[in-house]
Structure 1
Amino acid sequence: MDKLAQCLSNILKDLQGKDKHFQKLDFWNGNKIVVSKLKKFLEVNGFRTLKISQLSKVVKVTYNVVEVFTPQDVFNYCLKYVEAENSDFESIFLEHGEKYLMTKKALLGSLKPIELKPYKNDISTSRYFYNNCVVEVTANEIKTIPYKDFQKRKQYIFKETIINRPYKILDEINPDVDNFKKSSTNSDYKEFLNLATNSDEHFNSVCSSKGYLLHDFKNPANAKAVIITDVLSQATNEPNGRSGKGLIIKSFSEFTNVVEYNGKNLDLKRDKFVYQSIDHSTRLFVIQDVGKSFDFEDLFSQITDKMDVQRKHTQKMIIEFADSPKIAITTNYTIPQNTDSFTDRKHLVILNNHFNANRKPEKELGKLLFLQWNESEYLAFDNFMMQCIQFYLKNGLLSYEDPELKRQNLISNTSKLFVELIESDYFNNEYYSLKELASKLEINSNENSVKSKIAKNWLKTYVSYMNIKIDFRTSGGFEQFCFS
């Protein structure tokens, strides 16, 4: 029995006390398949039609759990019933069943549509479906509910959303920003994030980002791509890998369907098949390792609007905004656009470079994350991740400005000599000559007016980065400045 089947079996036992494979209803008469009875057999056993992103699919509904079936899957399901109930009819079904279930589309297309509504998280509640219970997360509480209670909602979930491990609550926490790091459940993964961040503020920012991506409700007023990178890469615009970005992405795949795409040579304008692996169950789309030439603007419509999924040799599928996956990007380069349009659509997650090619998480933590965990270690991880969702629902998406990166960016936009001069000689609450400052700088121009203009622009950049004020005045025909 595969993992998903085992999950469903556990849920069915919770719902009805036993796992029934078939509702008996023979669909043959002598040596002939009776089409009307075959249709009835399928419907009695939960087969329905369901429109998914403008495409009609055949699904099997077992209580509130929906599984997508291909025509071949339906044929195999019926064959198992024949083998169990009338093995003499098996050869006849093998010869003629294909015509009704695979070659012709009329029978499967005529099945009743599903009666249930799809389950969707709302803006304030997130639910995850484990193999023993449903975990319900709000800003104020994390609780478990049995599937029997969830069934009363008359909503369906897809089979792929079920997490094949048990859950129970280990700790009641306070998700306030002042104590989240201290109160959240200890786990190997929490320690990894602790080492990959510089402070409580930094830790909280990363955890809020994880909560944002795990909570699959899409708010059109807060639709962002999460960009995951590291300090050195952002400071130098050169690769400094092995900082832990891969483990950030791996953590999401433990809960939901993540589709990854290699972004090293990605051109979103030319590659129309970028999203072809995305389907109804995809909750997170990750573009890995985008390069220097990546144009973030090409993602704007996918972040804030419907998603066009073009597959080779098939009809284009349009996924509505509310049903489309959230987007994350990993990169070892800067994404320099800083206009309001870009700021509104991106959220930066920056890891420090505690981990690198020589200092790996498995050495620091004494084990491979995920691969060498037992059930109790997974349970601690699950509790911590649910707490990240609660933290996000309580506090929103928190930004973090790394001091080291801030200084490096300031130097990149001015010069190292300029920053050192300003911080050593020009903070005495008095006015200084702009021309004199410009003469001390290594500016590639022989024109004093050009040098002064560049120095003045750098001063404006400096006060903008440092969030301080500056006053310019003209005295004796010369321009002066003073920090206030």
Structure 2
Amino acid sequence: MLELKFNNLTKINKEGIKGYSIWAFDKKGVVSIYRNGLLEFLKENGFYKKQLPNKSYLFYRKDAHIITAYTHTEIREFVVKYIEENNLRYKINYGSSNTLVTLEQLKEILLRNIDAVFHPNFLGSMDILPFEIVRDKINESYVPFRNVVIKITADSIEEVSYTDLGEKVFYSTQIIQHDFEYTEKWKCSIFGDYIKNITNDTKERKNAFRSAMGYLLHRHNDVSNAQAIILYDEVMSGRNIPEGGTGKGLFAQAIRQVVKGFVQINGKNAKLTSQFAFQQIKEDTDVVFIDDVSTNFDIDGLNSVLSEGINVEKKFRDIIELPKEETPKFIVSSNHILSYEGSTRERRQYILQFSSFYKDKYREGNLKPIISEHKSRFFTEDWDTSEWNKFFSFMMNCIKFYLIHGLVKTPRLNFKKNAFIQKYGIDMYLYFEQLSFTSTQEYSTKEMYKEYVDDDKSPEIQQRGFTNALKSYLQDNNMECKLMKKGILKILS
């Protein structure tokens, strides 16, 4: 029990109310919450506000070099817990008499005023967060672990302590919950073997994957050059037969191990035109993974987000307007070729294609090809400290590779073929493949269509669709053509 002398307390008003800590007293005991005292108490315990561009606030608590987001409800719970854990009780000395204030009385006063003093409008009176949040720069990156911060530039990967960063802070969601020690053996790792397998161990493709991972892990966003990382299978199935199983999901989970501000969205239900499409995104979100999108996914809508930034609207909450440079980076996985024609689409899509290494093993009867190939479950207790260090060292080197080379040119394998097969089917592709098209020759599309459908009384495609497919096939193979009268198609070059 703490004994207080009433005459020594802070004078609040002319009515004789005095304050101590978060409480306001009169000559009979506690009467209310001392609001200035509450603001000071919150500051002493590391609470601050951070103003957003739309003038709304987010609340954070600083502990050492880490800030953690708090809602107004969580701040209230913190204060209540403090009162209970410290078993607060007071003996107020008024000179000739004493008044005892019990824990239950304090809690009652707090609960009576709870809606007013823990409302966001009142908490908006807290001090603004005075500490700089660590952000990656165009030429350097910081990756925080429990025990150390890794600073990466195009020239080096080095360890720095949290104290070396002065008053700068990280979001708690950025901290990787591992003790890390860099190793030069990062290439000889389970994850390194996985990268070899999904790229057929070809240098050009491995470099593309390394640069894409480095781009996603680098928390600096140059909006003018922002791209979505699009994940496809190298060999795709026919029309309406999506398969997957090549390891695209594991790629995204690898990013998630390093980028803790990671949001995953079900691509089947992703509607970018919805006002709540990105309601899962927070201020500390760095990467958004839209998984397994449908054939009608609005890739142009995503291009707009990449170039113009994003407003996050949540149900019953204020809109959060993220600055363009703080817009998250996007990964999109698809078992269908998305629209890619046009300069804007071309500029905003960075395409990675996964080999059939694991899919082939699945077709051979191995139902868990990744686990059986690597003798472990990725990112679980199956990995010892050494394997985790090799994985994280691999990822640090991806960031360094990206800072040196940027997003390197990525090869597109079977891309137009896959797009054609998914639109028109494998049978039609094989039919055109067995024909010998010659420059300057003319072909009857009607006769070709009749030969293709043969005796099929209910063909899936009609004459016009067949002709369009033929023109598309020829264009994919760099043959210019022109449709003449009576269904005659002439190849110009």
Common fold by TM > 0.5: yes
Distance in 1 separating the partners of 2:209 and 2:239: 22
Distance in 1 separating the partners of 2:41 and 2:450: 85
Is contact 2:261-2:285 (8 Å) kept?
Answer: yes
Match of 1:267 among 251, 271, 277: 271
Is contact 2:144-2:150 (8 Å) kept?
Answer: yes
- Residue 460 of structure 2 is matched in structure 1 by none
Which residue type is aligned with residue 387 of structure 1? N
Cα deviation, residue 340, structure 1: 0.6
Distance in 1 separating the partners of 2:85 and 2:269: 53
Is there any run of 5+ residues in structure 2 with no aligned partner, and where? Answer: 1-19, 90-101, 452-463, 481-489
Is contact 2:67-2:169 (8 Å) kept?
Answer: yes
Is contact 1:242-1:360 (8 Å) kept?
Answer: no
- Residue 241 of structure 2 is matched in structure 1 by 238
Cα deviation, residue 139, structure 1: 1.5
Distance in 1 separating the partners of 2:492 and 2:312: 55
Distance in 1 separating the partners of 2:225 and 2:357: 31
Distance in 1 separating the partners of 2:230 and 2:173: 26
Deviates more, 1:94-103 or 1:293-302: 94-103
Deviation string for 1:223-269 (max 9, x for gaps)? 11111121223776731221111111111221222111112143322
Cα deviation, residue 53, structure 1: 5.2
- Residue 69 of structure 1 is matched in structure 2 by 70
Give 1 or 2 for the bigger CA radius of gyration. Answer: 2
Q: Secondary structure at the match of 2:159?
A: strand
Q: Secondary structure at the match of 2:315?
A: coil
Which residue type is aligned with residue 327 of structure 1? F
- Residue 40 of structure 2 is matched in structure 1 by 40
Is contact 1:286-1:328 (8 Å) kept?
Answer: yes
Deviates more, 1:409-418 or 1:380-389: 409-418
Q: Secondary structure at the match of 1:318?
A: strand
Cα deviation, residue 77, structure 1: 2.7
Cα deviation, residue 409, structure 1: 5.5
Cα deviation, residue 131, structure 1: 0.5
Q: Secondary structure at the match of 1:118?
A: coil
Match of 1:370 among 370, 373, 379: 379
Is there any run of 5+ residues in structure 1 with no aligned partner, and where? Answer: 1-24, 172-182, 427-431, 470-478
Quickly say closer, same or farther: Cα 1:268–1:110, change in 2 above 3 A.
Answer: closer
Cα deviation, residue 144, structure 1: 0.9
Deviation string for 1:128-166 (max 9, x for gaps)? 111111111111211110011012xx4332111111111
Which residue type is aligned with residue 267 of structure 1? K
1:196 equivalent to 2:187? Answer no
Quickly say closer, same or farther: Cα 1:110–1:443, change in 2 above 3 A.
Answer: same
Which residue type is aligned with residue 163 of structure 2? K
Cα deviation, residue 36, structure 1: 2.8
Distance in 1 separating the partners of 2:467 and 2:434: 18
- Residue 13 of structure 2 is matched in structure 1 by none
Quickly say closer, same or farther: Cα 1:94–1:239, change in 2 above 3 A.
Answer: same
- Residue 298 of structure 1 is matched in structure 2 by 301
Task: Map 1:37-186 onto structure 2 (within 5 A).
Answer: 37-52=37-52, 54=54, 55-88=56-89, 89-100=102-113, 102-104=115-117, 105=119, 107-151=122-166, 154-171=167-184, 184-186=186-188
TM-score by length of 1: 0.77
1:283 equivalent to 2:281? Answer no
- Residue 444 of structure 1 is matched in structure 2 by 449
Deviates more, 1:186-195 or 1:234-243: 234-243
RMSD: 3.4
Is contact 2:339-2:345 (8 Å) kept?
Answer: no
TM-score by length of 2: 0.76
Quickly say closer, same or farther: Cα 1:418–1:407, change in 2 above 3 A.
Answer: same
Q: Secondary structure at the match of 1:290?
A: coil
Deviation string for 1:257-291 (max 9, x for gaps)? 2111112143322x221111111111111211111
Distance in 1 separating the partners of 2:445 and 2:316: 64
Q: Secondary structure at the match of 1:260?
A: strand
Which residue type is aligned with residue 142 of structure 1? I
- Identity value in percent: 23
